[in-house]
Amino acid sequence: MTGFERYENLLRLFLDRAPLWSVAELSQSLGTSASNVYRTVRELVAAGFLEAAEDSRYRLGPIFLEFERHLRRSDPLVRSGSVFLAPLVEQAGIPCCAALARLYGDTVMCVADAQSPRFDAKTSYERGRPMPILRGATSKAVLSVLPARKRDRIIAAAVGDAPGEAEALRSALSAIRKAGIVKTVAEVDPDLAGIAVPISPGVQALFGSLSLIVRHATLTPEIEARLGTILHSHASLIESYVRMEVERTS
């Protein structure tokens, strides 16, 4: 195990399993000696990634809040969310949630969101939460605009030795890319539908999507068509904004 993997595997326990850990608990979960874990914990505490809590336990350190603040200030795609998502939700005219997402490794992550006051459902696309790349309109829109080599690698990793399934996915994604929009119903959350358009500003290898998540029962053909129109409009604005911000800061 490399040095970085040692840190990552330990920190991911705090993300995936529990907020507080003792050295003994970490040692047992990682299957390594307490002395090695203690040395790693000590280094992470010194760097601010962990901090001591009660009962000889540790929690994630506030440096992650510092990183998040920096991302919100420096990442043009994240910043665009604070500019365009609230107006998008208002123009939608029905209870909904708007999500701006981007590729994150082999997953998709929501980086900004906005919700209308009357939207009473809970969506799984929470800001900062990695989501499966093959399920839901938000994720499929991202996958549809990836370069072929990257897209095929992700598909191969997801479906394994199933060439028929892989070919069907590639065909479906090509159709999404050609249409410029995708709708799914209850693929991620029961009773919810997602309508998403790809975002590909052509700078900094950014690939993302803009989506509106609504209760499926409210989605008439007329409303669906109108939401698609305003999604395309706002996606174009976001792409232009990102390009402008990259040029301004480069």
Looking at the structure, tell me whether residues 22 and 127 fall in a common domain: no
Q: Are residues 52 and 158 in the same domain?
A: no
Number of domains in the chain: 2
CATH number at residue 134: 3.30.450.40
- Looking at the fold, whether 102 and 44 belong to one and the same domain comes out as no
Q: Taking the model in full, what pTM does it have?
A: 0.88
Domain containing 233 equals: 72-249
CA angle 54, 130, 121 (to 5 degrees): 95
Residue 67 falls within a domain, yes or no?
Answer: no
- The reply to whether 55 and 77 lie within a common domain is no
Domain end marker among 61, 89, 105: 61
Question: Which of residues 12, 38, 61 is at a domain's end?
Answer: 61
Tell me the percentage of the chain whose pLDDT exceeds 70: 98
Task: Tell me: pLDDT of 153 over 80.
Answer: yes
The span from the CA of 173 to the CA of 179, in Å, is 10
Q: How confident is the model at residue 177 (pLDDT cuts 50, 70, 90)?
A: very high
66 within a domain of the structure (yes/no): no
If asked whether residues 86 and 43 sit together in one domain, one would say no
What totals of helices (H) and strands (E) does the chain contain, helices first?
9, 9
Taking only the tens place, the pLDDT of each residue in 102-118 is: 999 899 999 999 999 99
In a domain, 172, yes or no: yes
- Rounded Cα distance, 144 and 147, in Å: 9
Mean pLDDT, all residues of the chain: 93
- pLDDT greater at residue 191 or residue 72: 191
Statement to judge: residues 81 and 202 lie in one domain: yes
User: Mind listing the pLDDT tens digit for each residue in 56-109?
Assistant: 999 999 999 999 889 888 899 999 999 999 999 999 999 999 999 999 989 999
The CATH number covering residue 17 comes to: 1.10.10.10
Structure tokens that stand for 130 in this block: 């990695």
Q: How far apart are CA 98 and CA 119, in angstroms?
A: 11
- Residues 26, 101 within the same domain: no
Higher pLDDT, 185 or 17: 185
Domain co-membership, 101 together with 148: yes
User: Quick one: which of 6, 43, 10, 37 has its CA closest to 23?
Assistant: 37
Nearest C-alpha neighbor of 79 from the set 87, 65, 69: 69
Do both 42 and 82 map to the same domain?
no
- 176 shares a domain with 197: yes
Does residue 57 share a domain with residue 113? no
